[in-house]
Structures are given as structure tokens and as C-alpha cells.
Amino acid sequence: MAPPRAPSSFLLLAGAAILLGLAAGAARASNEEGDALYALRMRLSDPNGVLQSWDPTLVNPCTWFHVTCDSASRVVRLDLGNSNVSGSIGPELSRLVNLQYLELYRNNLDGEIPKELGKLKNLISLDLYANKLTGRIPKSLSKLSSLRFMRLNNNKLAGSIPRELAKLSNLKVIDLSNNDLCGTIPVDGPFSSFPLRSFENNSRLNGPELQGLVSYDFGC
């Protein structure tokens, strides 16, 4: 036994605990990405409990199921395909500025595609297919300059295909089939190589727009 040493090691431990607590508190307070994901959890109905591990008191969301971070603890993937969640996507996900893969396919998501998703400058893949999304395809998605895959098929999207999407020079795959889109199909940029099946079963969508003509999207 060495009673004289006890107080100092106790103080040391207490001090370390306080410092750790402060550090965790500071990191937690600044975890914008965890807050954004937790806001999504709050707006979704989750009958299968796939979001149960999303604990907002943790330092960052990197240990949560269906969330992937890079080595700097920044969220780069959200994988919630086939998860039986319902509700609306909401604008908060636009705060995941490092996100590369947004996989929300085959759920029961409704409401509109938030225009704020256009802020996800690093996004490579936007997979929202097989949900119940309504409204128009936001023009702002044309700002996703890294995007390679955009699959919005099998929803209830209406309106025309924004011409601005032709600016997405990295886009390799688009699928807008099985929606309620109207107007004509752009022909510029990446649209020059997309197959027509990417647009099929949109009963009010006409063929590719005619070269040299401003798009005819009357009543659309």
C-alpha cells in the first residue's frame, strides 16, 4: 500500500477524465454530419429498426450502421437501400458535404427530392430509385459535378427533365424510367449516349428533343 501516492494519481485520473470529456464535448458539438444524419433519423419511420445504432451522443457517426466514413472521420457513404424506411428525405442531408454515395433505393420514401441535395459537390452516386417520390427533378442537381450515377427510376416524379442536367459531364448512368415525366429528352452532353430505356414508361415523355430547337415542354 502506498497511501501518499493515491491522491496524486486520483487527481491525475480526474484531470484526464475532465480533459477527455472536454475533448469529446468539443468534437461532439462540432459534429455537423452526425447532427444531419440524426435529423434524418428523426424524420423517418423505421419499422425494421435499421437506424437503432444511430446514437447522437457518440463523438461522430462513423460507428453507426449503414454509415461509412473516410480516414478523417468524414461521412462518405449512406447505405439505406432496402431498409423499409418511410417518410421524406429532407434538406438536412445537404450538410454531408463529403458524401459520395447516397443509397436510399427500394424504400417507401415520399415527398420531393430536396433541392438542397445540389450542394453535395462530392456525390458520385445518387440512388433514390423504387420509392414514392413526387414533384419535379430539381434543377439544382445539375451542380453535382462529380456525379456518375443518377437513378431516380420507379417513383412518381413529374414535370420535365431539367436541361441543366446536360452539364453533368461525368454522368455515366441515368435512369428516369417508370415515372410521370413529360416534355422531351435532352440530347446534349452525356445525354447523347444514354439509351432510350433510361427514359421508358413515362407516358407523357416525348422522344429526344430536335436538334436546334428550343425544348417544347408546353403544358409540362
Ligand X SMILES: *[C@@H]1O[C@H](CO)[C@@H](O)[C@H](O)[C@H]1NC(C)=O
Site for ligand X in 171-190 (CB under 6 A): 178-179
The β-bridge relationship of strands 75-79 and 101-103 is parallel
Residues comprising the chain, all counted: 220
Contact between 160 and ligand X (CB under 6 A)?
Answer: no
Report the distance separating Cα 6 and Cα 4, nearest Å: 6
CB of 177 to ligand X, least distance (A): 8
The CA-based angle 78-64-175, given to 5 degrees, is 15
Which residue of 9, 30, 48, 53 would you call a contact of ligand X, by CB under 6 A?
Answer: 48
Number of residues that bind ligand X (CB under 6 A): 7
Which residues, 6 or more positions from 92, have their beta carbon under 8 angstroms from its beta carbon? 35, 36, 37, 39, 40
Residues 111-150, mask of contacts with ligand X (x by CB under 6 A): ----------------------------------------
Contact between 154 and ligand X (CB under 6 A)?
Answer: yes
Report the distance separating Cα 118 and Cα 95, nearest Å: 11
Which residue of 60, 73, 198, 201 would you call a contact of ligand X, by CB under 6 A?
Answer: 201
User: Which residues form the interface with ligand X (CB under 6 A)?
Assistant: 47-48, 84, 154, 178-179, 201
